[in-house]
A and B are shown apart, each in its own frame.
Chain A
Amino acid sequence: MRILIIEDEPMIALYLQELLEDAGFAIIGVASRLAKAMELIKSAVFDVAILDANLAGISSSPAAAALVARSMPFVVLSGYSMQQQQAFPTPHFLQKPCRPEQLISILSAIGPKP
């Protein structure tokens, strides 16, 4: 399964990358800024996106909208609680720090079935 990581914190991006690679996922790209994220959402080939709710102080809701527009499944990962993040139209929400197995099971659930 091909994963697009949209995350501005390098340490967390690295962590996610290694965690998911170890778990057998393919990371096709990491975006740490909204512009890069929008570009990758349009152009990259992936199955599921992991979206940080806030990118360098800017809400990433345009990225969420773009994902919805492309009918791409995504999970929101955020330091904010669910209540603080009502702008995101997704039932799949994980608050940092998340348990790795929880993230993996959500990705498996919403990603394409083999």
Chain B
Amino acid sequence: MPNEEQDLMQAVVAHKRSEANLRLGIAIAGFGLGVLDFRTDQVTLDHIAAALFGLPANTPIPRSEMHARVHPASAAEVKAAMLLALDPAGDGLMAIEHRILRPDGSALWVAARKQIEFGNHGPGGSRLATVGLLAVRDISGRWLAEEKIRISETRYRRLFEAAHDGVLLVDPNTSKIVDANPFMTELLGYPHADLVGKELYEIGLLKDQASSQEMFLQLKVDHQVRYENLPLESQSGVHREVEVVANLYDEGGHAIIQCNIRDITERKLAEAVALQYSRLFSTLIEQAPSGVYVIDAQFRMSQINKLAMPAFAAVEPLIGRDFSEILTIVWGADVGERIEQIFRHTLRTGERYVSPPFTERRHDIDMIQSYEWEAQRVTLVDGSYGVACYFSDITERKLAEDIVAEREAHVRSILDNTQAFIGLLSVDGTLLEANAPSLAAAGVSRESVIGRKLWDTNWWAQDSQEANRLKDAVLRSAAGEVVRYDMIVRLAPTRRMDVDFMLAPVRDASGTITLLVPSGLDITERKRSMHHIQQLMGEVNHRAMNLLGVVQAVARQTARDGDPATFVTRLTERIGGLAASQDLLVQNEWKGVEVADLVAAQLAHYKGLFGSHVVFAGPPARLTPAAAQGIGMALHELATNASKYGALSDSVGRVNISWRITDGAEPNFEMRWLEDGGPSVVPSTRRGFGQKVIGPMVEAAVSGSAEIQYAESGLSWTLIAPVAKTLESERAATPMAFL
């Protein structure tokens, strides 16, 4: 034992001898130290080791306290290592990395090394651990870094495995594939094992060996090669479009080529669809039946169709130009800004804008123009928003509409200011329009008749017979007939109107009857005057016949008492006298004859003697037609007699004719024929026709009395008759009341 004690002590001394140097070295390496004494089962830790374990420094503590700090996850491993190190048959060395759990709850990774010394102080002189030296270092930092690498590698591997890009790793020296990810095997249809060891051209990725070499050369220069749109056929013959990016880089000291192969078949397809969509979009805009242009998200004119071009003829350049600038050129600042606000609002909110009729003066052409337009937000091919504007130039149409409206107003004013009644019917007889005169005639309002069947309206409310006739007329007219008849419209029980009514169909260009036009003229007055004329005609006939009766009587009388030799002359003269009176009556429209006119007419033969040998005077007095005829005939007979036998038979005799109206309640008309200066008168004994005419006949005509005196100086004739039977009263005489 003393030997062993000595050995131990020597060892301790040896240790202690180099202790200063040792400690310095260990401290620099970051090691904490501990001395284990297995005999007392205690350990003494320096301040570094004590800090690691969270135990007191430089004082012996039970070894179990230190063991208690070993992390439970490392406990079994540490225990096993200790048992091994404590085996007296071993070298007493222990090296382990383990975790410790400190009193504050934190964990550390440490690298621990122990050197155990043995002595022969066991039972029977067997070897037993005596002392040990512990060096411990905090390796948490290193361990963490390694952990990160491990995780990173796993992740990388996962990426490699799961990537949707095909990845091939190629050795640049051998040109052979060294690894391929599952996507690649799937893409090509070759198992992993078949890919590894092949060259790129062998799997169809490059055309041939020459292309392969070319790629490697280029990689050496540029370290990267990119192929777009490589066609690739899988083993099963499916065609794919791929994009290949090859990178040459250094991996841990040796070069490697990584090829990323991306299947761009879908993208190509999408691009083709997008292109098609873009073309369709352009075609749609170009073929649109109205003007279309598109403003992009940056508020620039991006597209415009042919129909829209004329509206922007003054803007150059147009495509790509800021839209607010364009608006200012076309519309000027004010209107332009108004439109700009609308477009910006639509672009921002997606709210569709439909313009009300838009009529403004254009700034560029200085003309009033009308447009219909709307702005709508659209998604452009690149996915951004824009505004499409659809518009039509309606200037011409508006102008035409204005003209039509003006014409309609003209037509309406013509219709309303005409005398005729004019309306418009649908083919079933519904009244669509009626002009003002027709409404005024019946005193009805437009509202009360429009939309009703014509025969149900007020015009015929009083007369079902006319209403039925009208209904029938509508049916016939709707079948193509122009119907015309005289209609009686009873406007009130006491008021009727005669209407010349016509119903005419109106056909459209194809010949179909679309409307009926009823029209009418108020012919009440015309009818009345026609009736009047008919009455007058009858009356004239009546008078003519009467006159002929008189002529017949005169002829008979002339023949009875005259010399056949002078019959024709006498009859002609008498008919002439009748005609003269008749003439005056007609001239005066049967309203009587002035006495002076009658005298002048009956003595017209002696016109040359008027004022000298024939003198006549009297107040104005108008004889009735019957009196005019009777007195006229008497004057004719007196004149004939005077020229034959009396005052007018020589050149010295005179005839004085006078008339007057007496005063009194029942005044008389008195007329006197006085001859003097002529040959001596011999009273006539004959009661010839002349005597009858100046006597009983004229008396009968005027209900008066006639007196004839044959004085020496000459004949005198006096007629006295009531004014009431002789003269026209002040009012107009009824023309048909004289026979």
Which A residues fall within an 8 A CB radius of B?
Answer: 8-15, 18-19, 32, 54, 56-58, 78-81, 84, 95-98
Asked if residues A57 and B737 are in contact (CB atoms below 8 Å), the reply is yes
Residue of B nearest to A77 (CB): B549
Q: Is the interface of B mostly helix, strand, loop or mixed?
A: helix
Q: Is the C-beta of B232 less than 8 angstroms from some C-beta in chain A?
A: no
Asked if residues B556 and A11 are in contact (CB atoms below 8 Å), the reply is no
Asked if residues A14 and B692 are in contact (CB atoms below 8 Å), the reply is yes
**Which one of A9, A80, A84 has the greatest number of beta carbons of chain B within 10 Å?**
A9
Q: Which of B102-110, B285-293, B539-547 contacts A (4 or more CB under 8 A)?
A: B539-547
Residue of A nearest to B692 (CB): A14
Q: Is the C-beta of B68 less than 8 angstroms from some C-beta in chain A?
A: no
Q: In the docked arrangement, what's the CA distance between A19 and B739, Å?
A: 20
Asked if residues B546 and A96 are in contact (CB atoms below 8 Å), the reply is yes
16 interchain pairs, CB-CB under 8 A? A10-B630, A10-B696, A10-B701, A11-B549, A11-B554, A12-B553, A14-B553, A14-B692, A19-B556, A54-B542, A56-B737, A57-B734, A79-B543, A80-B545, A96-B552, A97-B552
**B636–chain A nearest beta-carbon distance, Å:** 12
Residue of A nearest to B698 (CB): A10
Residues of the A chain whose Cβ atoms lie less than 8 Å from the Cβ of B545: 78-80, 95-97
Query: Given that A54-B739, A57-B738, A79-B739 are contacting pairs, would A15 and B557 also be in contact in the complex, using a CB cutoff of 8 Å?
Result: yes
Residues of the B chain whose Cβ atoms lie less than 8 Å from the Cβ of A19: 556
A79 partner, pick from B541, B552, B554, beta carbons under 8 A: B541
Which B residues fall within an 8 A CB radius of A?
Answer: 538, 541-546, 548-554, 556-557, 560, 626, 630, 633, 692, 696-698, 700-701, 734, 736-739
Query: Given that A79-B541, A80-B538, A84-B538 are contacting pairs, would A9 and B557 also be in contact in the complex, using a CB cutoff of 8 Å?
Result: no
Q: In the docked arrangement, what's the CA distance between A81 and B626, Å?
A: 21
**A33–chain B nearest beta-carbon distance, Å:** 9
Asked if residues A12 and B550 are in contact (CB atoms below 8 Å), the reply is yes
Q: In the docked arrangement, what's the CA distance between A108 and B358, Å?
A: 102
Residue of A nearest to B535 (CB): A84
**B705–chain A nearest beta-carbon distance, Å:** 14
Residues of the A chain whose Cβ atoms lie less than 8 Å from the Cβ of B546: 9, 12, 79, 96
Q: In the docked arrangement, what's the CA distance between A32 and B739, Å?
A: 10
B549 partner, pick from A12, A32, A54, A84, beta carbons under 8 A: A12
Asked if residues B739 and A9 are in contact (CB atoms below 8 Å), the reply is yes
Asked if residues B548 and A56 are in contact (CB atoms below 8 Å), the reply is no
Beyond the given A57-B736, A81-B541, please list 10 additional residue pairs across the A-B interface where CB-CB is below 8 A. A9-B546, A10-B697, A10-B698, A11-B550, A11-B697, A12-B553, A79-B544, A80-B538, A80-B541, A96-B552
Q: In the docked arrangement, what's the CA distance between A10 and B543, Å?
A: 15
**Which one of B538, B549, B734 has the greatest number of beta carbons of chain A within 10 Å?**
B549
Q: In the docked arrangement, what's the CA distance between A80 and B545, Å?
A: 7
Q: In the docked arrangement, what's the CA distance between A42 and B283, Å?
A: 115
**A11–chain B nearest beta-carbon distance, Å:** 5
Q: In the docked arrangement, what's the CA distance between A22 and B737, Å?
A: 31
Asked if residues B549 and A97 are in contact (CB atoms below 8 Å), the reply is yes
Residues of the B chain whose Cβ atoms lie less than 8 Å from the Cβ of A56: 626, 737-739
